[in-house]
């Protein structure tokens, strides 16, 4: 059955503000990647105009081929040893108060790229002036890789669950639902407990009860911050949209999340993991 036309609440303006153009210039000068561009995020105009961005480290080619993601996949390029320094320089130039660092999956690396995350975090810590959130891959369950990231001292440890258990194998090639939950559980149990965050998409064919079940699973491992947004297919070669959720349904999911005990829930049609991440951090009590 064909999906209905995209509703009005999902339409956004093309980005063209002065801050947006300024950030484009900084990114190009520093030869950096952002998930905002690579994943074709609909919020890029809003976020960049607010002078917030999510930096994509470890290159822009992913070793996995998730059925929902527009980031290029294949054989990655070599690591850029100076990338952490350039990220720190860009953050300083942008004057950010909260920065999000994420990456492609790098299953070709022994530590999955954890050392590059750790170095980037430490440079940002030395520089000061902003809180640091990392959105990490699952590192194939490697506890040492996770610990090396946490030892660097991020303010928020984010790992997205993305979807419900029944759809995991279809949507997240190479991922594992239990492994993702275990990662969040470990982060919460080590060193007195880190502030943890996760996000999921709806509209992939899940049932309402399955969304609720996943929310309960995340709370059971102590997850503090939850984001829920509408899945938007990047093109015909990706998983199709099963349906569009109404803004009222997102509001209900937010209420249910708060009732479950999440410190902060960001739920809406255009919400993505890093959407207004600075406000999410404040809502969860980071600063």
Residue-range domain boundaries for the chain: 13-283
CA distance 169 to 153: 32
Strands (E), 90-239: 98-103, 131-135, 156-158, 196-202, 225-230
Q: Where are the beta strands (DSSP E) in 18-128?
A: 33-34, 54-57, 98-103
Which residues, including other chains, have CB under 8 Å from residue 264's CB and lie 6 or more apart? 224, 225, 226, 280, 283, 284
Q: Kindly state the DSSP code that residue 62 receives in the 8-state scheme.
A: B
pLDDT in tens, the chain (287 residues): 445 677 777 666 655 556 556 656 665 665 555 555 544 555 555 655 555 667 889 988 888 887 777 777 888 777 888 999 989 988 888 788 888 999 988 999 999 999 999 999 999 999 988 889 999 999 999 999 999 999 999 999 999 999 999 999 888 888 899 999 999 999 999 866 789 999 999 999 999 999 999 999 999 999 999 999 999 887 888 889 999 999 999 999 999 999 999 999 999 998 987 777 777 777 777 76
Residue 251 CA to residue 18 CA, distance in Å, equals 32
pLDDT at 74: 84
Give the residue carrying structure tokens 């399955």: 210
CA atoms within 13 A on the CB side of 265: 20
- Exposed/middle/buried for residue 173 (C-beta within 10 Å: 0-12, 13-18, 19+): middle
Burial 23-45 (b: 16+ CB within 10 A, else e): beebbeebebbbbbbbbebbbbb
Cα–Cα distance measured from residue 142 to residue 150, given in angstroms and rounded to the nearest whole number? 13
Residues in the chain: 287
Is-contact 10 244, C-beta < 8 A?
yes
Q: Which CATH class is domain 13-283?
A: alpha beta
pTM of the predicted model, to two decimals? 0.87
Can you say how many angstroms the Cα of residue 227 is from the centroid of all Cα atoms in its chain? 9
Contact at 8 Å (CB) between 105 and 117? no
CB 286 within 8 A of CB 131: yes
Listed residue (97, 64, 103) closest to 83, CA to CA:
103
pLDDT at 39: 47
């Amino acid at each position: 059955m064909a999906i209905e036309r995209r509703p009005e609440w999902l339409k956004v303006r093309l980005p063209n503000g002065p801050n947006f153009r300024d950030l484009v210039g900084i990114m190009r000068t520093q030869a950096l990647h952002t998930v905002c561009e690579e994943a074709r995020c609909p919020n890029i105009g809003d976020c960049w105009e607010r002078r917030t961005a999510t930096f994509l480290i470890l290159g822009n080619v992913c070793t996995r081929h998730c059925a929902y993601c527009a980031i290029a996949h294949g054989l990655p390029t070599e690591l850029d040893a100076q990338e952490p320094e350039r990220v720190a320089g860009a953050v300083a130039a942008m004057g950010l108060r909260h920065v999000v660092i994420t990456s492609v999956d790098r299953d070709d690396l022994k530590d999955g790229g954890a050392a590059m995350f750790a170095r980037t975090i430490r440079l940002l810590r030395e520089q000061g002036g902003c809180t640091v959130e990392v959105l990490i891959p699952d590192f194939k369950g490697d506890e040492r890789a996770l610990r090396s990231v946490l030892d660097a001292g991020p303010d928020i440890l984010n790992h997205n669950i993305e979807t419900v258990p029944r759809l995991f194998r279809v949507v997240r090639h190479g991922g594992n639902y239990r492994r993702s939950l275990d990662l969040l559980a470990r982060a919460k149990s080590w060193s007195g407990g880190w502030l943890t965050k996760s996000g999921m998409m709806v509209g992939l064919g899940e049932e309402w009860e399955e969304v609720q079940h996943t929310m309960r699973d995340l709370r059971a491992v102590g997850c503090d911050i939850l984001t829920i947004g509408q899945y938007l297919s990047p093109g015909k070669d990706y998983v199709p949209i099963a349906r569009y959720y109404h803004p009222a349904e997102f509001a209900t999911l937010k209420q249910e999340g708060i009732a479950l005990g999440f410190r902060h829930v960001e739920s809406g049609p255009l919400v993505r993991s890093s959407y207004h991440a600075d406000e999410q951090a404040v809502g969860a009590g980071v600063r």
